[in-house]
Homo-oligomer: A and B are copies of this chain.
């Protein structure tokens, strides 16, 4: 059986907002799996904002993807052929992989999923990297206490939705920001946040201040930009800011106009004894068993809810990615590559 893999590669470095022509679909036959290897058919791929960073050169926590190479993602896939005794045909696994629909991987690189325990694609969202990002960022950096106020932007997105819900499970108030009335209603009515502000409202900063009458103790930074500007003056003494992403600035080709407000940020950190701490989830892999157990329990009890924004077909992955960076997704962005 010769299987052809279709793979999306980076054709050009995006300048500002990525365009479809920055990407290219390629096809190539896969070799037969050798000893210890497994042939996989991809069922689901995930899209997350951090991927934008891998497309640009410049200092980051990971090297930029080379032109002509494919891009990082995580996949849920089904075993078609197994040369590893630990895997049977039909097993479903999670694996760090690329933007493609088939692959040969070593069995040792795969994590087997239990399709009866939860929908398998949750391994890319609430039970995967986004969930663990929210969990560990709060546990190690945000440390919200009962009664404190936690603010997060992108509150209807994969990480933001969980930040608020986990904060509330611990007894904190959760205030979110999201793009538009529909998302805000979902964040409050379905996810149970105490408030959600439309990030596009002309009086967004005033609304946020009103929703945080006791100030802000934890700001989980996913967005940067105008939301950051609105939160900074609300931060209480000793507030904590886990810095996990700055979606609002990922497509920027230049810095905003002046003045340079860096001294203002440093002065706020000084005068309010603030903690800013950047992190990526890889720092906290050791928490994975604890995280899976806690999140599975919360899901089973109905204390954590999630929403998926599913697009069918690898062919539509690029347009979906471009839309996600503009906030067009509503929930965890997923590509269903095969049924």
Chain A residues within 8 Å of B, Cβ to Cβ: 53, 59-61, 221, 224-225, 228, 233, 237, 243-246, 249, 252, 254-280, 283
Contact = CB atoms under 8 A, between A and B. Distances in A.
Contact of A61 (B254, B272, B276, B277): B272
A257 B260 contact: yes
A244 B270 CA distance: 6
A256 B260 contact: yes
Contact of A263 (B53, B256, B283): B256
B246 A252 contact: no
Contacts of A245: 270
25 contacts: A53-B271, A59-B233, A59-B272, A61-B237, A221-B266, A225-B263, A228-B266, A245-B270, A254-B259, A255-B260, A255-B261, A256-B259, A256-B262, A257-B260, A258-B258, A260-B260, A262-B264, A262-B265, A268-B278, A273-B280, A274-B276, A274-B277, A274-B278, A275-B275, A275-B278
A257 B259 contact: yes
B273 A246 contact: no
B279 A266 contact: no
B262 A243 contact: no
B271 A278 contact: yes
Nearest to A283: B273
A263 B246 contact: yes
Nearest to A50: B270
A25 to B, nearest CB: 29
Contacts of A266: 221, 224, 228, 243, 246, 249
A4 B51 CA distance: 71
Given A269-B277, A274-B277, A276-B276, A255 B263 contact: yes
Contacts of A224: 263, 266
B255 A257 contact: no
Contacts of A272: 59, 61, 278
A259 B258 contact: yes
A135 to B, nearest CB: 17
A198 to B, nearest CB: 22
Contacts of A267: 246, 249
Contacts of A263: 224-225, 246, 249, 252, 255-256
